[in-house]
Chains A and B, each alone.
Chain A
Amino acid sequence: MARNKEALILLLDVGPSMHSVIPEIEKVCSMLVEKKLIFTKYDEVGVVLFGTEDTDNELMVEVGGYQHVVVLKNIKVVDGDIVEALQQLPRGTTHGDFLDAIIVGVDMLIKKFGETNKGKKRLCLVTNAQCPIKEPFEGTKEEQVTTIAKQMTIHGMKMESIILRGKLSQDANKKIMDENDRLLSIFSTETSARLTYVENPVSLLGALRTRNITPSTIFKGDLELSPKLRIKVLVYKKTTEEKFPTLKKYSDKAASTDKSATHEVKVDYEYKSSQDPDRVVPPDQRIKGYQYGPQIIPISHAEWDAVKFKPEKGLKLLGFTDSSNVLRHQYMKDVNVFIAETGNTKATLALSSLARAMKEMNKVAILRCVWRQGQANVVIGVLTPNLSDKENIPDSLYFNVLPFAEDVREFQFPSFSNFPAPKQPNEQQLEAAANLVKMLDLAPQGKEEVLQPDFTPNPVLERFYRYLELKSKHADAAVPPLDDTLKKITEPEDDLLQQNKSVIEKFCRSFELKENPRHKKSRRLWREEISGSGEDQGKGEIAAQPSNLIEDKSNVEVENIGDLTPVQDFEAMFLRRDNPDWVVKAINAMKNKIYDLIEDSHDGDNYSKALECLTALRKGCVNEQEPKQFNDFLRDIRGFCQEKNLHSFCDSLSSKGLTLIPKSEAADSEVTEEEARSFLVKSEPKVE
């Protein structure tokens, strides 16, 4: 393991212009160290801050200068201390000089490792590069940067720079920024450095790879265009799903004093005879059976090995075809990348010419692949060109697996044109939809593409690792809610919605959606997200009434709450005395109705109706001495509104003076006057 350990120095800008993004930097950097603690716990990390008020680094002592650069943590094996330090970065007061910080970082790495540990030394710079760097004593800034970059190459250091721009940087001097950009780009041409510009907090979280996985080849050998022309290639995984960590089952059987207890649970599988359930059949007496019609045919491993399909290892080209012959949705699996063998110029050229010709002609290549000898199946896939616009990165090809004839299910679906006229959108509806598609734009011209997969972290994993760290300190901490940055991945961004308010409203007005009353069962789907108490019973029973019943209500026993006159229906149900269940039924039905109204509301147009219903429900609950039903429900509603960002509804609650039912109104209530009064004042739920 030791030979793979990496030494990383984080160079973090904490100057005044960075303050707004420091919370995100804290999160991403502490996550990085947390993951190192889990996956590569022998890695070493140092932290250098710049833009600080203080100065604390060895170079300052040794040669002077290097002001406002603080070595927060010297290089050491990762531990909880570094995580904590990164979770509370100090806010600096001066403009930082990123080049000073880089030099301090390089110096630290050289002092600690000298010539050793090549290729495993990394610097990671996070800054907005808004402030000019100091003029060097001699030569130009460019020369100075080039010299440092060369030094880094000699010592086998890599650098990763994350530059914050767009929304993340305030208005700054364009000239300085351009100069800094130019200087930073020297690093990426002179040495192995990655330069990433990010414009929003989500991509900042995604831009810094918190876990470094060394890719391993899945194939090394010839890409065979024909028996006479073979190109040496390496094949790597380009994407692989990073799975949610596997947690072990916990056993609390061991005594709490037993320090060496593993607490693990072993899972044992035993195969038992179906006639004699007590007889365990040992592994060597088992044989695999395959279904053939209603029967099961036993086939032993040896039999299989003798007859199974055994293709030769190798990658063979079948031919090229128009890219339109392969559709995007036919890609089957995670993606591989084909790169020419390292250092093989001819192979690089061959691959490059193929890729470029394919791109020009809009062609793709179809390949037959057997990655390993002994693999029992072949893979058919498509190669698509991946041209590099960077000078030091070679052209490559992406490989996607395609389905076989057996894998495609030919289900037929009705043509859209076969639907009757009412289901066809009209001109105006089409226009509204086209506007929405155009305006709800995640890749605006001249700006960074939002939610680009390359820069979007997995919110669930983020959440898990943060919670893990939290739990390591507070064992019984509750799961914290998804923070605002991560919410931008799971929900549409507010800014975007605000900007396009009129387009969205137009869209909403153009279409009419109606719940289908005949279809009761599927209502569960539409109600699913409401987690509250007691709505289960009422769920299926609030379907709208057929309209002809509503016309003459007086003669009809009301059994449900309709769309037109919910309050009256509710009261009618309440007054039915043929069965005491009606009260409960009415309350549940009303609750559902209110949820419906709030949720289906466009811009609050249903709110007044919902408030009427809520008032009626409250009155009913006071009369029937069911305060708990109402109080619980009102709390649920508030939670629901907060979750859905429907604060305006909460506001209208307080304006109507709708609050919990206190003891004074219903004796059974557990709510005090005080509590009832303050209920609507607090807009934030208690954070646990």
Chain B
Amino acid sequence: MDYEPESDDPFRDDDDEPDSHLSLEKESTKEYVVYLVDSSPKMFNSTCPASADDQKEESHFHIALSCISQSLKNQIINRSYDEVAICFFNTREKRNLQDLNGVFVFNVPEREFLDRPTARYIKEFDRVEESFAKDIGSQHGIVSGTKENSLFNAIWAAQALLRKGSAKTADKRVLLFTNEDDPFGSIKGAIKSDMTRMTLQRAKDAQDLGISIELLPLSHPSEPFNVSQFYADLIGLEEDELADFMPSAGNKLDDMKDQLRKRMFKKRIVKKLKFMIVDGISIELNSYALIRPTAPGAITWLDSVTNQPLKSERTFICNDTGALVEESTRRFYPYKGQNITFTMKELSEIKRSSTGHLHLLGFKPLSCLRDYYNLKPSTFLYPSDEAMDGSICIFIALHRSMIQLKRFAVAFCGSSSRAQLVALIAQDEVIQSGGQIEPPGMHMIYLPYSDDIRLVEERHSEKSGTVSKASNDQIKKAADVIKRIDLKDFSVCQFANPGLQRHYAVLQALALDEDEIPEIKDETLPDEEGLARPGVVRALEEFKTLVYGENYEEECEANSKPSEASKKRKAQAEVATKECENYDWNELADTGKLKDLTVVELKYYLIAHNLPVSGKKEALISRILTHMKK
């Protein structure tokens, strides 16, 4: 059935749980970004190496553009609600809200200057460089003799674009790309100091309005960008930050290009929980989803002719009378030959097994938490004093004691979707190089019930006697292997999901009509070079010889004996191939006599040619015809 989204869709979002609809808080952190790109002739004339191992030189202008383009392509997937504007300055043509000279805001139809990026916007921006000279034109804006100040105009235009929305709900940023460290260098005397002062004042005004201005300087290795010349004042760098600025700016540029396509989620409370510790002491917790499988985004069904979205409608039909019925309030379950009916109220009564949200039952040592006690991603808990003062204090006290005593709490979580025993593990804060790697709080792990655990190992026990366990020698050799193939700095989130990245890449290629699908590196493949190192190979070889003896290859062969089922399948295929030869398929197909054969006969052909044998007779025939290319 194709009516509902495929159930085996690997990206099905587990967030469809009722919990996720209970979002109570949204920290709105939308981002409004204006890219200011210097388009003076110097940007086109100066070049720098495209990459470390590449001899080709690229113009600064091109680098800035490709960087923005890359960043837009990531942003449309990661945070498609953020809004952007791209604004060139030092241009011949002008287009901006205030009609300022030398400033050109790039845009496409059906879009405001500052708006969400669209496929068309990205597509046309990718082509802007070709027609730049014709449509926009590069021209130095600050020349002696005129009062024009294109940098001033650019900042002013950016500020006007960012007037939208309040600084509280949105992050407003201006990213300035330039390779001119001394924009007023061509001017002398009082006019220069005047212009400098005005421009700095303009920037300060913008910053006072909550707009941050970031500088992305471009330079050639032989000709470094001197930030203290002018820009340090503009972006408000302190003395001691000057030294670090250039290297960090370089990193920022790289970061913009190499960002992972990753849907960003706003931090939000999934649910507010009441945690009953003992009678009379209940504290307030907020739960967050820190780890959830990411889906590539919702699927919308479209009409393939018009590409317009479709609305799905659900109807209930009585199976006995064929009459349309309302959503029924009763359910039934067949048992002992009868249909036992339940009202929805009775069902919810059954599921409502506890009153509180989270009920502490006791504590156990961490060693009791076995590795197979897991069913779904954990939920993160963090205390709040919002409604119940003192919650944080109690939480911290318990948190500390649990870490110290190496214990976890067992609690009953009485949610209506699935009432469950949970383990609460206290997690200490982990900070690495200034960033919080693990936030402090508790992780709620959903424990299975005995009904959910399968006794697989015991089914594999020997009927009588013993099974072999490794000897000390064998363990030692295995330890050597483990030492050799060690992932030292393994971190859980070091791998991007290749399937998901591929999805985004395909989507981008189709949306932007790109000819090639961007190459996605599968980071999850084993490090073959590493495994081929002599030390590793030797350790593996020794382990293999000790456990399997000299004749590992034969063992493997001997052990891969075909199973009963596959033998049967093979025999069937042989019969089919033989039978298949008895028919003149071409003739039958040409004369339309295939339909006179039985399904069994048709299947001879299909099995002999390794085709699927499912479906009705018509399907089989059409499959045969397709295979024969008729």
Contact = CB atoms under 8 A, between A and B. Distances in A.
A441 B408 CA distance: 10
B451 interface: yes
Contact of A330 (B316, B397, B450, B492): B492
A48 interface: no
B280 A601 contact: yes
Contacts of A378: 497-499, 522, 524
Given A271-B301, A368-B526, A471-B342, A423 B392 contact: yes
Contacts of B468: 345, 348-349, 352, 394
Interface stretch (A54-62, A491-499, A628-636, A650-658): A491-499
A238 B450 CA distance: 11
Interface in B279-300: 279-284, 288-294, 296-300
Given A273-B310, A412-B439, A392 B457 contact: no
Interface string B364-382: 1100111111111110101
A331 interface: yes
Contacts of A211: 451
B315 interface: yes
A291 B300 contact: yes
Contact of A511 (B274, B311, B390): B390
A311 interface: yes
A490 interface: yes
Interface stretch (A63-71, A120-128, A175-183, A442-450): A442-450
Contact of A437 (B349, B398, B457, B496): B398
Contacts of B386: 516, 519, 522
Interface in A501-515: 504, 507-508, 511-515
Given A253-B320, A289-B300, A291-B297, A270 B429 contact: no
A337 B457 contact: yes
Nearest to B320: A254
Contact of A225 (B493, B528, B540): B540
Interface size class of B (residues with CB under 8 A): 35 or more
A349 B470 contact: yes
A4 interface: no
Given A239-B372, A403-B492, A415 B452 contact: no
A464 B454 contact: no
Interface stretch (A98-106, A383-391, A558-566, A608-616): A383-391
B304 to A, nearest CB: 4
A241 interface: yes
Contact of B460 (A34, A37, A394): A394
A172 interface: no
A578 interface: no
Interface string B309-326: 111111111111101010
Contact of A405 (B260, B389, B402, B456): B260
Contacts of B316: 249, 265-268
Contacts of B493: 403-405, 407-408
Nearest to A296: B300
A468 B334 CA distance: 10
B374 A333 contact: yes
Nearest to A254: B320
A516 to B, nearest CB: 5
Nearest to A602: B280
B318 A457 contact: no
Contacts of B321: 251, 253-254
Contact of A299 (B459, B510, B555): B510
Given A238-B453, A289-B300, A437-B407, A403 B474 contact: no
A296 B470 CA distance: 57
Q: Residue among B301, B399, B402, B405 with the most chain A CB within 10 A?
A: B301
Interface in A396-444: 396, 398, 400, 402-409, 411-413, 415-416, 419, 422-425, 429-430, 432-434, 436-438, 440-443
A293 B320 contact: no
A191 B461 CA distance: 10
Interface in A444-465: 449-461, 463-464
A227 B26 CA distance: 49
Contacts of A514: 388-390
B526 A516 contact: no
Given A463-B353, A511-B394, A407 B497 contact: yes
B353 to A, nearest CB: 5
B439 A411 contact: yes
A334 B341 CA distance: 32
Classify the secondary structure of B's interface with A. mixed
A174 interface: no
Interface in A29-82: 34, 37-38, 79-80
B475 to A, nearest CB: 5
A207 B453 CA distance: 11
A504 B459 CA distance: 44
Nearest to A365: B482
B452 A242 contact: yes
B320 A296 contact: no
Contact of A463 (B317, B350, B476): B350
B562 interface: no
Contact of B332 (A250, A380, A405, A463): A250
Contact of A416 (B399, B455, B486): B399
Contacts of B445: 328-329, 331
B487 interface: yes
Given A337-B457, A391-B467, A403-B291, A294 B492 contact: no
A295 B531 contact: no
Interface stretch (B47-55, B157-165, B541-549, B587-595): B541-549
B503 interface: yes
B394 A433 contact: yes
A6 to B, nearest CB: 14
Contacts of B440: 413, 415-416
Contact of B320 (A258, A285, A454): A258
Contact of A238 (B119, B310, B451, B454): B454
Interface stretch (A9-17, A107-115, A312-320, A547-555): A312-320
A288 B307 CA distance: 10
A21 interface: no
Given A80-B336, A407-B294, A526-B274, A239 B453 contact: yes
A119 to B, nearest CB: 10
Interface in B479-536: 479, 481-483, 485-500, 502-503, 506-508, 510-511, 517, 520, 522, 524-528, 530-531, 536
Interface stretch (B186-194, B210-218, B355-363, B612-620): B355-363
Contacts of B333: 245, 247-248, 468
A526 B272 CA distance: 10
B611 to A, nearest CB: 16
A681 interface: no
Contact of A407 (B292, B414, B485, B498): B292
A380 B457 contact: no
A37 B452 contact: no
Contacts of A602: 279-280
Contacts of B365: 443
A331 B379 CA distance: 11
A228 B528 CA distance: 12
A165 interface: no
A643 B279 CA distance: 13
Interface stretch (B145-153, B200-208, B261-269, B570-578): B261-269
Question: Which 6 A-B pairs give the minimum distances between C-beta atoms?
Answer: A377-B499, A353-B470, A329-B443, A247-B331, A433-B397, A522-B387
30 contacts: A250-B331, A262-B320, A264-B320, A272-B310, A286-B310, A289-B299, A293-B80, A296-B307, A307-B506, A311-B522, A319-B527, A326-B490, A335-B374, A346-B559, A353-B474, A366-B487, A386-B371, A406-B263, A411-B288, A413-B441, A425-B394, A434-B405, A442-B362, A451-B421, A456-B421, A469-B335, A471-B342, A525-B284, A526-B282, A599-B280
Given A254-B321, A460-B353, A508-B281, 7 more contacts: A229-B543, A254-B318, A267-B316, A303-B510, A308-B502, A460-B351, A493-B361
